[in-house]
Amino acid sequence: MQRRRRGGRGRFPIQPRIGARPKANAMNPEPLVADVPVYLDLAEIEVLRLVDLEGMYQEEAGDMMGFSRGTVWRLLQGAREKLVRAIFEGRPLVLTESEEEKT
């Protein structure tokens, strides 16, 4: 996964270390209410896996991924919000490798 900076200035974003890739690329709700998908990138998925599935503290997850605890917290909050949005709005969930148009 290649993170890109926006604009022409500033430092390049830290590339996350991903331990395990998900087996699925997308999940579709039943019934499908809205066609506009919700996008999760690999960094968000890895944070969800480490913190929610593996039970790690945010600091431990940050050490494994090469991020600060604050970045892990931000990714975790965004990923959880996207999951809940996909469930309650009946939208497809798409797992991406790069930062595409995410909702």
* pLDDT computed for residue 13 by the predictor: 67
Task: For 14, list phi and psi in degrees, rounded to 5.
Answer: -70, 135
* pLDDT computed for residue 101 by the predictor: 44
* pLDDT computed for residue 99 by the predictor: 52
* pLDDT computed for residue 3 by the predictor: 59
Alpha carbon distance 102, 24 (integer Å):
18
Q: What is the CATH number of domain 26-96?
A: 1.10.10
* pLDDT computed for residue 2 by the predictor: 58
End-to-end CA distance of the chain: 19
Mean pLDDT, each 10-residue run in order, the chain (103 residues)? 62 76 89 91 93 95 92 95 94 79 47
Task: For 39, list phi and psi in degrees, rounded to 5.
Answer: -105, 130
18 contact partners, CB below 8 Å, separation of at least 6: 1, 42, 43, 46, 65
